[in-house]
Amino acid sequence: MGTPKATGAVVPTEVSPELLEPLVTVVAVLGELGATAGDVHLAGPPGSLRAGLVALIGNIGRAMGHRHGEATRLRHALATAEATRATTGATTGTTPEPTAVPPGDSAVPRATAGDAWATVATITCKWREAVASVEATWATVARDATHLRDVCSTVATARATPGATMGHLLEALAQENRACQELLEATRALPMASELSTAFSEVATHRRQVADASAGLRAATEATEKTAVAMVETAGAREWGRRAAVAQEPLGRLVAACHTATRFYCHLRCLLEDIEATVAAMAAGHGGPEAPGVAQEGPGVPTATMTMQGGPDVPKDLMAVVTVAEKLWDASARLAQGHLLGTLRMARGLLVTLGVPDATAATAVSQRCRDATAALPGLLLQ
C-alpha cells in the first residue's frame, strides 16, 4: 500500500480482480435462483420471490450499465493544466505578471492556468457524481435483496406452524356423515297422531326436527369444505416454506455480494473525493475557483504554496490516484458491457419462465459467469 503526497488517498500497489468479483457473483446467484424449480409466495409486494428478483434485475442492469471515459478526459485536462503551470513558471513559487509577457511570447497568462484547473475540477466533480449515483443504486439493490431474504426467511419459518391435516379432513367428513344420518332419521320419523287434536302439534315438531337436521348437515358440509381448503393451503404453505428454505443460502450470498459491490463503488467515490479536494486546491492556487463544499485546509489537503512549489511530484501523485480510479471504473464498465449485461438478461429469462427451468440456459449462465471471472485480470490491464 502507498500514500500519495498530493491527495492523502490510500492507493493499492495492485488493483486486484477480487474487487470486481462481487459483480459477477450477483449475476451468477440470480442465475442459480432462476434455475431452481418453483416460486415462493410472499405476502404483500412484490407478491413472489421471482417477481422480486426480476424487479431487482432492473436496478442491477442500470447500475452495471454506467458510462465510462471520464478518466481519459481528466488526464487530458490535467495534461493541459500541467502545461499551463509549466509555462507560467509555477514551479518557482511565484507568478509572473501578465504585463511582463513579451508580445508574441508563448507563455499562458495566469487566468488561463486558472481556467485549465477549473476545467479539471468540473470533470472530476461530474465523474464523482456519476460514481455516487451508481453507488446509490447498488445500495438500493442491497436493501431490496435484504428484504427478499428476510421475507423468505419468514415464509420458511411459517411452514412449521401446525395447519389442517388429513386427520382434520377425515374428522370433518365423519361429522358430515353423522349429520346426514341424523337428517335421514328425522325425515323418516313421520308423525303418527291418534287424535286429530294432537296431529298439528306433532307435524310442527317433526318439521322443526327436519329443519334442525338440515341445518346441521349444511354446517357440517361447510366445515368439511373449509377444512379441505385449509388443507390445500397448508400443503401449499409447506411447499412454499420448503422452497423458501432452499432459497435462503443463495439469497444470503446475493445480499453479501450486493453490499460488497456497494462498498466497491464507495471506495471509488472516496478516491475521487480525494482527487477533487487536491484539484480544488490547485485551482485555487492558480487563480481558479475552489470546488464548492471542499475544504482547502487540514491534514492531507495541499495548500496553494504546496501546489506552486511542489514541482512535477504533485501531478505524478495525483495521476497515480487517477490511474487507480480509472482502472476500477473502466474495468467495471467493460466487465458489464462485455460479459454481465447479456448474462443478466439470460438470468432474467430463467426467472420469468413458468414450469421447469431450462437446464441449457442455466448452464450457459454459469459458464458465462466463469468466463467473466477469468477475464477480470485482463480487463484491469487494459
Model pLDDT for residues 260-307, shown as the tens digit of each residue: 999 999 999 999 999 998 888 877 765 455 544 443 333 333 333 333
pLDDT tier for residue 217 given thresholds of 50, 70 and 90? confident
**Rounded-to-integer distance, Cα 111 and Cα 127, Å:** 25
pLDDT at 95: 42
Report yes or no: 91 and 311 within 8 Å, Cβ to Cβ: yes
Render 303-370 in DSSP notation, one character per residue: -HHHHHH-TTHHHHHHHHHHHHHHHHHHHHHHHIIIIIHHHHHHHHHHHH--SS--HHHHHHHHHHHH
pLDDT at 172: 63
pLDDT at 330: 92
| Count of C-beta atoms within a 10 Å radius of residue 123 | 21
Average pLDDT over residues 311-315: 43
Closest CA to 339 of 72, 35, 20, 59: 20
Share of the chain above pLDDT 70, in %: 68
Q: With a cut of 50, say whether residue 324 has pLDDT above it.
A: yes
Q: Which residues pair with 2 in a beta bridge?
A: 11
pTM over 0.75: no
**Stronger pLDDT, 35 or 102, i.e. the higher one:** 35
Q: With a cut of 50, say whether residue 103 has pLDDT above it.
A: no
Q: With a cut of 50, say whether residue 89 has pLDDT above it.
A: yes
- Residue appearing with cell numbers 401449499: 236
Closest CA to 213 of 201, 224, 221: 221
Q: With a cut of 90, say whether residue 316 has pLDDT above it.
A: no
pLDDT at 312: 38
**Rounded-to-integer distance, Cα 333 and Cα 350, Å:** 24
DSSP 8-state secondary structure symbol assigned to residue 109: P
Of the candidate ranges 25-39, 80-94, 132-146, 228-242, the one whose mean pLDDT is the lowest: 80-94
Closest CA to 230 of 180, 157, 162, 175: 162
pLDDT tier for residue 12 given thresholds of 50, 70 and 90? very low
Note if the bond before 96 is cis, omega within 30 degrees. Answer: no
pLDDT at 209: 75
| Count of C-beta atoms within a 10 Å radius of residue 241 | 21
User: What is the Cα 217 distance to its own chain's centre?
Assistant: 55
DSSP 8-state secondary structure symbol assigned to residue 340: I
Q: Is 282 helix (H, G, I), strand (E, B) or coil?
A: helix
Q: What pLDDT, in 10s, does the model give residues 182-196?
A: 777 777 666 665 565
Q: With a cut of 80, say whether residue 348 has pLDDT above it.
A: yes
**Rounded-to-integer distance, Cα 273 and Cα 267, Å:** 10
Q: Is 85 helix (H, G, I), strand (E, B) or coil?
A: helix
- Residue appearing with cell numbers 479539471: 120
Task: Pick the most confident of 102-111, 128-137, 283-292.
Answer: 128-137
* Assigned C-alpha cell, 372: 467473466
Report yes or no: 81 and 282 within 8 Å, Cβ to Cβ: yes
Burial of 307 (0-12, 13-18, 19+ CB in 10 A): buried
pLDDT at 304: 31
**Rounded-to-integer distance, Cα 330 and Cα 15, Å:** 12
